[in-house]
């Protein structure tokens, strides 16, 4: 079994990944500042290290590590737009620092988060070969990460895998953001008996992929060398409008509340639909039906609400 380090282990994807890796028998070291992460989400079997991805003081944590999953980032697009310098500092400088710590420690492979936000304004199904021209500071920071990964491959022989996540949802999705992810926002509004908000007319379409399907590919990255030094789109290849998502959540929760429409913010996204053929060629297939995945998410958010974690 491998010894695996996860940055951002107290976050949404990181904590779910830690559960999966532990279930497969791997040893997991978690790195997190715990500024935004939720410590209660970190499995107790994880060796939790407190540290900032921008600091060279984290380098000793990489000794003896086989694989790194780098998930820590500043990732709320409106917040990134308001703070471009902070976005570059965390997402670009922090990622370069992770790559350097990994290469110094002789890590076998770094799997790092890119983003479908790199495809902003592309209306067709983008592929990893397409030239990307992101239009938000968040998307630009992820493009910089991609270029640093290629440079570390070229100059140091570091093996990396870039994953362009589409709209990941599931238990532990971060509902604390300035603008919460849409599924979480709908569920919370229904629980409070308030009308959910839809920005724009609700016809924009997004590719929603469950965190369990994402983690299936994460595990494949450990086992399969065919992914090395490549980039993959991770989405289902099917998209839904916000209105369709709203209807599914309302049906699950048995609510007749009608949404309130507000002007759409400029988030850079025209549509979202993954060309996931390259990932499928590795033997990966998304398995989670959207309605089934949302049912599990509703159960999770309801439980958080009962605990008093959602105000």
Is residue 73's pLDDT more than 80? yes
Cβ distance 270 to 226 under 8 Å? no
Reported as a single tens digit per residue, the pLDDT across 186-226 is: 999 999 999 999 989 999 999 999 999 999 999 999 999 99
DSSP H helical ranges for 24-93:
77-82, 84-87
Domain ranges of the chain: 3-168+208-234, 170-207+238-307
Report the distance separating Cα 26 and Cα 3, nearest Å: 6
Reported as a single tens digit per residue, the pLDDT across 5-41 is: 999 999 999 999 999 999 999 999 999 999 888 899 9
Report the distance separating Cα 305 and Cα 192, nearest Å: 9
Report the distance separating Cα 243 and Cα 181, nearest Å: 14
Among 34, 69, 74, smallest CA distance to 50 is for 34
Tell me how far the alpha carbon of residue 301 is from its chain's centroid.
Answer: 18
User: For position 266, what pLDDT does the model report?
Assistant: 60
Report the distance separating Cα 59 and Cα 166, nearest Å: 30
Among 245, 222, 238, 241, smallest CA distance to 276 is for 238
Q: What CATH architecture does domain 170-207+238-307 belong to?
A: Alpha-Beta Complex (3.90)
| Higher-scoring residue by pLDDT: 46, 121 | 46
Q: Please give the radius of gyration of the chain, using alpha carbons only, rounded to the nearest integer.
A: 19
User: For position 97, what pLDDT does the model report?
Assistant: 98
User: For position 120, what pLDDT does the model report?
Assistant: 82
Reported as a single tens digit per residue, the pLDDT across 223-239 is: 999 999 999 999 999 99
pLDDT category, 269, cuts 50, 70, 90?
low
Is residue 267's pLDDT more than 60? no
Tell me how far the alpha carbon of residue 268 is from its chain's centroid.
Answer: 18
Reported as a single tens digit per residue, the pLDDT across 100-154 is: 999 999 999 999 999 999 998 766 678 888 888 898 999 999 999 999 999 999 9
User: For position 272, what pLDDT does the model report?
Assistant: 87
Among 68, 95, 103, 97, smallest CA distance to 218 is for 68
3-168+208-234: CATH topology? Rossmann fold (3.40.50)
- The tokens describing 139, both together, are 């998307």
User: For position 279, what pLDDT does the model report?
Assistant: 98
The residue with tokens 């350097």 is 100
Average pLDDT score, the chain: 94
Q: Percent of the chain scored above 70 by pLDDT?
A: 96
Q: Give catalytic residues, as residue numbers.
A: 138
Give yes or no on whether 3-168+208-234 and 170-207+238-307 have one common fold: no
Instruction: Name, in order, each residue with C-beta under 8 angstroms of 170's C-beta and a sequence gap of 6 or more.
Output: 12, 16, 210, 211, 212, 293, 296, 297, 300
Query: Across residues 41-51, what is the average pLDDT?
Result: 97
Cβ distance 311 to 191 under 8 Å? no
- The tokens describing 239, both together, are 């998209």
Instruction: Name, in order, each residue with C-beta under 8 angstroms of 298's C-beta and a sequence gap of 6 or more.
Output: 187, 249, 252, 253
Least confident of 98-112, 141-155, 166-180, 240-254: 166-180
| Higher-scoring residue by pLDDT: 137, 310 | 137
pLDDT category, 270, cuts 50, 70, 90?
low
Reported as a single tens digit per residue, the pLDDT across 271-308 is: 789 999 999 999 999 999 999 999 999 999 999 999 88
Q: Percent of the chain scored above 90 by pLDDT?
A: 85
Residues paired with 50 in a beta bridge:
32
Is residue 86's pLDDT more than 60? yes
Report the distance separating Cα 23 and Cα 118, nearest Å: 32
Least confident of 61-70, 75-84, 206-215, 244-253: 75-84
Distance (Å) of CA 130 to CA 160, 237, 239: 19, 17, 20
């Amino acid at each position: 079994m491998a010894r695996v380090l996860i940055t951002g282990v107290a976050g949404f994807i990181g904590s779910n990944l830690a559960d999966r890796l532990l279930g497969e028998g791997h040893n997991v070291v978690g790195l997190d500042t715990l500024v935004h992460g939720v410590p209660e989400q970190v499995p107790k079997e994880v060796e939790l290290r407190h540290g900032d991805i921008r600091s060279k003081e984290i380098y000793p944590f990489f000794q003896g590590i086989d694989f790194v999953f780098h998930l820590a980032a500043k990732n709320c697009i409106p917040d990134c737009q308001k703070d471009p310098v902070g976005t570059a500092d965390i997402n670009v400088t922090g990622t370069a620092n992770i790559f350097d710590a990994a290469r110094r420690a002789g890590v076998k492979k770094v799997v790092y988060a890119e983003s479908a936000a790199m495809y902003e304004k592309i209306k067709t199904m983008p592929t990893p070969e397409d030239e990307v021209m992101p239009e938000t500071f968040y998307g630009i920071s992820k493009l910089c990460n991609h270029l640093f990964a290629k440079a570390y491959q070229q100059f140091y022989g570091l093996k990396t895998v870039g994953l362009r996540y589409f709209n990941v949802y599931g238990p532990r999705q971060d509902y604390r953001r300035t603008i919460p992810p849409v599924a979480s926002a709908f569920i919370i509004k229904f629980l409070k008996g308030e009308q959910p908000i839809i920005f724009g007319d609700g016809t924009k379409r997004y590719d929603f992929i469950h965190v369990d399907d994402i983690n299936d590919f994460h595990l494949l990255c450990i086992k399969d060398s065919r992914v090395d030094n490549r980039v993959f789109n991770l989405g289902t290849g099917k998209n839904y409008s916000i209105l369709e998502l709203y209807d599914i959540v309302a049906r699950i929760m048995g609510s007749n509340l009608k949404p309130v429409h507000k002007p759409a913010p400029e988030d850079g996204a025209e549509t979202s639909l993954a060309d996931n053929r390259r990932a499928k060629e590795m033997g990966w297939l998304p398995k989670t039906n959207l309605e089934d995945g949302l049912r599990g998410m509703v159960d999770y958010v309801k439980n958080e609400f009962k605990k008093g974690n959602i105000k």
